[in-house]
Amino acid sequence: MTKGLARHDEPARPRFPMLLLTATLTSVLSLGPTAAPANVSAEMLTVDAVRADVAVAREAYERVHPGYDRYTKRATLDAAWEDIVDDAESDGGMTLGTFYLRLQATLALIRCNHTKAELSPAQVERRETNPLYLPAAWEVVDGRAFVLAATDPALRPRDELLAIDGVTIPELITRYGELSPIDGFTEHAREREYGSSSEFRGGVLEHFRIETENVPATAVLTVQTGDAPPREVSVDRVDLDAWKEAQALVQPFQLDFRDAVTFEPLGDDAGYLRVDTFVNYRNTVRPDRIYDPIFKQLRRDDRSTLILDLRNNGGGSADALNRLYAHLMPRGRAARLVREIRMVTNNLDGLRDYLWTWSKRALNPKRWWFRTNDDGTYTLRPILATTTRRIRPDRWAFRGRIIVLTSHANASAVSTLMAKLSDQDNVTVVGEPTGGSAEGVTANILYFLRLPNSKITGRLPAQRIYNDVETFTPGMGVSPDVEILRTADDVRTGRDRALEHALSLAGQAPDALSQ
């Protein structure tokens, strides 16, 4: 059963990916073979090299990706692949940076947040050894950019960033914004990746600009503090490690689950639980070691309301996710977050030489692992699909009212949890529409496709998830019960209206939270 069953028509053809690149952007941004030799992204790929890499990528995504034409017509994707080759033939080749950008533009058409292109090793080395980044953490809200923190004193928190090297923020968004991958039609989710992203090397706008423009070592920025007149400042660009240091002033760049959970009692009757990531594979901890003390305290204190703040959470590991659900689910029988996992093929012949993944078994799937469906897809058998197993309520599970705070940054596994929680009668969802897919994303196992000539790697999801939810809007994430969109004025004033509303629902004062 679904809500919002009105069909989402496929966009006529996204404004950015192919048309703009083959015309305006290619002429404005391509570095050409005469650019500085130290810039590997300016080196030319031959026509044959481009043709061969496109052939490998196209076959792999067409054959393996379980959501390849879920949101975009196959004819549109066919044309996108063919345009890359046509332009290389017309220009006598293509720079590595432009090819990378064109490949990402094509993958973005698939509309899957787990589908993206990664830089080649040579491009990565350039990023790690050259000053290419602004010395700041910044974000885009309502199409406007604001500094969150900076390692250069010329930039101050809440300064509005109007232009970079004479290029306005709206113009940068027009050039590069649609290269940010999203699930389905969650266009609102793109903004959160523009200034800072853990998925790319730099935020989306800087990351892709570096590949197709010669960014100077000193950046000239137009900034505005409050209502004061705009001013120009010059800052030295920094390398990737120094850029990460700026991001860490806001939040650790690679946050682990064990360090991402905070809890604070509120008054006599409520509590505030914040979980900023479910990533539990770098520094692993048993999730119940984190959750149990918190939920024991909630039970011991007989608190009736819990504010669950997931706004900074983009997903992560199944164990951290599942165990949180076990502490939030209602009394009664066991339930599951995911009802089914499907693949469109278990035949990787001809592709294995280009593929890598965490488990070698996944490169040689066995027929007995799957049940064949009438539509030709394959369902992973429950004995192997651990994420479809039923979860039993934890003995310390919270029985009171739950207020979940959401944001555009939510995607992947956390959107799965939110979709399930939104079906519960004791849950109120407050905040922004999420990214991800309430119905289920394409993810789980990811293949990494190394292209033979450019050495660029494409992330290739192998499985489609079907969430065990009662309601969803096709192509969308989770819609809040109380929508409170973050605005540019909120950033400038430091106001958190969503949290204020949640505190009000919990019977607490707006300043009840100490952090």
| pLDDT, tens digit (0-9, with 9 covering 90-100), for 285-339 | 999 999 999 999 999 999 999 999 999 999 999 999 999 999 999 988 899 999 9
Residue 46, both tokens: 């031959």
DSSP secondary structure string, 453-488? TT--EEEEEEEEEEE--S---TT--PPPSEE----H
DSSP alpha helix (H) spans, 218-317: 240-248, 287-300
Provide the token pair at 333: 């029988």
54-67 pLDDT tens trace: 999 999 999 999 99
Q: Residue 76: pLDDT above 60? A: yes
* CB within 8 Å of 186: residues ≥ 6 apart: 408, 411, 433, 434, 435, 436, 437, 475, 476, 477
Using CA atoms, how far residue 192 sits from 180, 218, 248, 309, in Å, is: 10, 25, 17, 17
pLDDT confidence tier of residue 386, bands split at 50, 70 and 90: confident
What is the rounded distance in angstroms from the CA atom of residue 334 to the CA atom of residue 98? Answer: 51
Is pLDDT at 376 greater than 60 in this prediction? yes
SS3 484: coil
Pinpoint the alpha helices (H) of 199-279.
204-212, 240-248
Tell me which of 19 and 255 has the higher pLDDT.
255
**Torsion of the alpha carbons at 148, 309, 311 and 467, rounded to the nearest 10:** 170
Q: Which residues contact 153 (CB under 8 A, 6 or more apart)?
A: none
- H/E stretch holding 356 reads strand 355-356
pLDDT at 4: 31
Percent of all residues in the chain with a pLDDT value above 90, rounded to a whole number: 85
Confidence of residue 84 (pLDDT cuts 50, 70, 90): very high
Question: What pLDDT band is residue 270 in, cutting at 50, 70 and 90?
Answer: very high
Q: Classify residue 425 as left (phi > 0), alpha (psi -120 to 50) or beta.
A: alpha
Confidence of residue 198 (pLDDT cuts 50, 70, 90): confident
Rounded average pLDDT over 240-250: 94
Query: 154-180 pLDDT, tens per residue?
Result: 999 999 999 999 999 999 999 999 999
Across the range 347-370, mean pLDDT stands at 93
Reported as a pLDDT band with limits 50, 70 and 90, residue 14 is: very low
CB atoms within 10 A of CB 446: 18
pTM of this structure:
0.91
Question: Radius of gyration (Cα) for the chain, nearest Å?
Answer: 23
pLDDT of residue 17: 35
Report the alpha-carbon distance of residue 134 to residue 142 in Å, rounded.
21
CA distance 342 to 380: 6
Structure tokens at 161: 């960033």
**C-alpha distance across the termini of the chain, in Å:** 41
Residue with tokens 């991800």: 436
Phi–psi pair at 34, nearest 5 degrees: -95, 0
In this predicted model, what pLDDT tens digit does every residue of 403-418 receive, in sequence order?
A: 999 999 999 999 999 9
Residues 433 and 69: their CA atoms lie apart, in Å, by 24
pLDDT in tens, 31-41: 333 333 479 99
